[in-house]
Structure 1
Amino acid sequence: MTVYSGPVFEMAVNQFGVIADHLSIPHDERARLLMPKRSVTVSCPIHRDDGTIAVFEGYRVQHHLTLGPTKGGTRFATSVDLGEVAALAIWMSWKCALVGLPYGGAKGGVHVDPTSLSRTELEGLSRRYMQEMIPFVGPHTDVMAPDMGTNEQVMAWFMDTYSMYQGKTVTEIVTGKPVASGGTLGRREATGRGVAYLARRVLGLKSINFNDATAVIQGFGNVGSYTAIELASFGVKIIAVSDHTGALYDAKGLDVAALVAHVGKHGSLAGYSNELQYDPVGMLTLPCDVLVPAATERVIDAKVAAQLQCRILAEGANGPTTPDADLVLEQRQDAIFVIPDILCNSGGVVVSYFEWVQDLQQLFWEEEEVMHREYKILDRAFDQMVARAKRDKVSHRTAAMAIGVEKVRAAKTTRGLFP
């Protein structure tokens, strides 16, 4: 029996099972590695602008604290439930271990449509959620970050609420804050930059000229938009993008700067162009060099995987590819180079780690140093993944997850079981 359920959690369990079998982990060790250490469910009542009271359900799951505090984003979305949050926390554990960060994975969220809230209501919900979490989080226990539906401003409210209860400013309780409130230069761009950087590495490995390359990006939020900006900056043509309002396609290439400006003004791609509208599902299978799913989980199933016409699959989102799709992609390894999510989108948590370190030290770095350190870590993890996949003759996802799971298992084994 478990309190966790749903397709996203089942996907995380299935993925772990594959890795556990690959590593020949004894069955009596598996539950300790997989099951979250702690989960919290809270009610978050707020005053609505019309004078009524609304109650939203919030969650936080801390997967393990073996290597250090847990680390993970906080998501405000209608898809949020305990199973999804637990799965994302588990994936974050493997991600942090893969890139060598002293963290366990965590995730949090509130079941709410943030676009239905006014700014005042959003602030009230943000502060109430953090208030309810104060007994369970801390700079050396669990450090929050932004995710889908949250942003720098929400993190500033989180930090301020926690600080008021501590009687002092505690900037290191969250990452992804505004620079003016203790954030780091380069954090906002970090995930998208990392996705583009790794995609660029693979383009180089495949001897694909950047100026001849094309990319399709599903999801045009923080990750997708900065990925598009970075890819375009070194010559890649962005031929299709999408968000929750629809998709746009132009074989000649889209104007990324104009798209970013439109979304900044209007909040979405809606209304940008009627002539360029395209099927949001069909865009995933457009011929391209780089496909970046940067939206939500489980968008590439076995059917879609069989129809992909990309040469590089750079997973900007968490869990965009189902286990059934992985089986298809393993048969297409010669045609499609997969950069799995736990590596591909890890730039965000890497730079979040830098922000945490800078806040603890009260010594801040220039953006060039942040980027240099981020890319150095991504390069190291990428090289380890490719070497492991080649050595063991396994997929990149299996290799990346095996490295992460091995590190967590080794730490748990050496620390032992208390009491």
Structure 2
Amino acid sequence: MAIDLLRLPTDSIVRPDKDRFLNEENPFEAMMSRFDRAAELLDLEPGIYKILRNPEKQLIVSVPVMMDNGDVEVFTGYRVLYNTSRGPAKGGIRFDLNVTLEEVKALAAWMTWKCAVVNLPFGGAKGGVICDPLSMSVGELERVTRRYTKGIISLLGPDTDVPAPDVNTNERVMAWLMDTYSMHVGRTENAVTTGKPVEMGGSLGRKEATGRGCMLVTKEALTHLGMDLNGATIAVQGFGNVGSIAARLMAQQGAKVIGISDRAGAFYNAKGIDIDAAIKHVQQHRSLEGFTGGDAIDAEELLTLEVDVLVPAALENVITTKNAPRIRAKVICEGANGPTTAAADPILDEKGIFVIPDILANAGGVTVSYFEWVQDRMGYFWSEAIVNERLGDIMTRSFGDVLQLSKQHRVNMRTAAYMLSISRVATVHRLRGIYA
């Protein structure tokens, strides 16, 4: 890591507003409060500060769709490109009733810092459609996807904006998006999206990548703290793709997963939960409801279990000022984006909890997305063993970079991760200059 890149030239010191928690659960404010803290420590010059504090492009589209009953519904879709100075925009698309522009902006910014912290040649983006995918048929989902893709197609392209799956989207949705784009440009363009089926240019290891990345950095964190993943106790909040795979991989390393939860409920077993059985149950029933491998507990109680590692792997804002004082984990590995509010950060610091921040902890997914994009562009595909080996190299090196900076500047891992990523993006802006 080139530490000297952090010795930034300055015109004056940025002094961000300290009172930024009027709305603790506003994701964009939370992201920006952390950005401001890192910018202050970096003495980021005002011009670069202004550039990095604002998204490049924000697109809002209407998505009219003929439903199965013959009615026309009009959904609202968003796509935000936050910063593309380091390369094409990269970021997922989510289908959810709670999608907002503020959330999408925050997630696009997080993707910018996430790509930079693991040193990928990507910028950050995010997208979403306000809808209830669980109540929609396959045909309705396909029509929403294709019409939304047409609405944002001016942004899309392997050299400009490369989406991926996110909440309530999957490889089938990415296949529809790729096909829609390809039909409009008149050629098959595999590299326009990642997270696709392997049969059409997807990468081996992509589905497991985010959970695997969580396992890898958790292992590094425990080693740093003089502990071992073998025998560690784990609680996983959110048992979707990220949480379930992280739980399974940690269990395979000898960890004891004693708590898991999803939207249907939370379960505790002091002797350890059979993760393979839990995954099979979810595959059969679409949730943990009715799972018999543990005692049902309150979802909030799972977050406060006395464990070595807590993995919040669901949505934003689950660790707040209300419950942070009661959290008893030694390590928090943020599998989700923004699971901890900015106002809760100092509480966790005071308790001595080692937090692996989201922009590092869950960067395994975008790293293997990068591998998929590279493989699509060169038309040559790697074995899963090679994908996992290269993922391990990047995640381990990136954890070490952030830890070194944390020690050097005597800041927590989140602030160090922001400092590293912001410095990398800022450096490129200085080198490129401002086009006039």
State the TM-score bracket (shorter-chain normalisation). over 0.9
Instruction: Give the Cα–Cα distance (whole angstroms) in 2 for the partners of residues 44 and 276 of structure 1.
Output: 43
Instruction: Give the Cα–Cα distance (whole angstroms) in 2 for the partners of residues 275 and 408 of structure 1.
Output: 46
1:401 aligned to which of 412, 418, 423: 418
Q: RMSD value over aligned CA atoms?
A: 1.4
Structure-2 residue corresponding to 1:363? 380
Q: 1:211 to 1:101 in 2, by over 3 A?
A: closer
Question: Which consecutive unaligned segments of at least 5 residues does structure 2 have?
Answer: 1-22
Deviation of the 1:309 alpha carbon: 0.9
Indicate yes or no: 2:269 matched with 1:269: no
Structure 1 segment 251-290 matched on structure 2, within 5 A = 251-273=270-292, 276-290=295-309
1:241 aligned to which of 242, 256, 260: 260
Structure-2 residue corresponding to 1:198? 217
Deviation of the 1:341 alpha carbon: 0.5
Deviation of the 1:274 alpha carbon: 9.5
Which stretch has the larger CA shift, 147-156 or 201-210?
Answer: 201-210
Instruction: Give the Cα–Cα distance (whole angstroms) in 2 for the partners of residues 384 and 407 of structure 1.
Output: 12
Superimposed CA distance per residue, residues 312-350 of structure 1 (whole angstroms, 9 cap, x where no aligned partner): 1000001111111111122233xx221111000000000
2:178 aligned to which of 156, 159, 165: 159
Instruction: Give the Cα–Cα distance (whole angstroms) in 1 for the partners of residues 155 and 42 of structure 2.
Output: 33
Indicate yes or no: 2:113 matched with 1:94: yes
Indicate yes or no: 2:125 matched with 1:112: no
Question: Does the CA-based 8 Å contact 2:319-2:344 persist in structure 1?
Answer: yes
Instruction: Give the Cα–Cα distance (whole angstroms) in 1 for the partners of residues 250 and 428 of structure 2.
Output: 37
Deviation of the 1:226 alpha carbon: 0.5
1:184 aligned to which of 200, 203, 212: 203
**TM-score of the superposed pair, with normalisation by structure 2:** 0.92
Deviation of the 1:262 alpha carbon: 1.0
1:390 aligned to which of 407, 423, 436: 407
Secondary structure of 2:83's match? coil
Instruction: Give the Cα–Cα distance (whole angstroms) in 1 for the partners of residues 267 and 354 of structure 2.
Output: 25
1:322 aligned to which of 329, 341, 364: 341
Indicate yes or no: 2:28 matched with 1:9: yes
Structure-2 residue corresponding to 1:44? 63
Opposite residue 41 of structure 2, the aligned amino acid is H
Indicate yes or no: 2:248 matched with 1:229: yes
Superposition misfits of 4+ residues, deviation over 6 angstroms: none
Structure-1 residue corresponding to 2:427? 410
Deviation of the 1:28 alpha carbon: 3.9
Deviation of the 1:48 alpha carbon: 1.0
Question: Which consecutive unaligned segments of at least 5 residues does structure 1 have?
Answer: none
**TM-score of the superposed pair, with normalisation by structure 1:** 0.96
Instruction: Give the Cα–Cα distance (whole angstroms) in 2 for the partners of residues 284 and 79 of structure 1.
Output: 22
Deviation of the 1:250 alpha carbon: 1.1
Secondary structure of 1:97's match? helix
Instruction: Give the Cα–Cα distance (whole angstroms) in 2 for the partners of residues 339 and 275 of structure 1.
Output: 27
Indicate yes or no: 2:401 matched with 1:349: no
Deviation of the 1:147 alpha carbon: 0.4
Question: Does the CA-based 8 Å contact 2:65-2:140 persist in structure 1?
Answer: yes
Indicate yes or no: 2:398 matched with 1:381: yes
Deviation of the 1:380 alpha carbon: 1.0
Opposite residue 29 of structure 1, the aligned amino acid is I
Which stretch has the larger CA shift, 183-192 or 253-262?
Answer: 253-262
2:40 aligned to which of 10, 18, 21: 21
Structure-2 residue corresponding to 1:121? 140
Paired residue total? 413
Instruction: Give the Cα–Cα distance (whole angstroms) in 1 for the partners of residues 309 and 251 of structure 2.
Output: 12
Opposite residue 95 of structure 2, the aligned amino acid is F
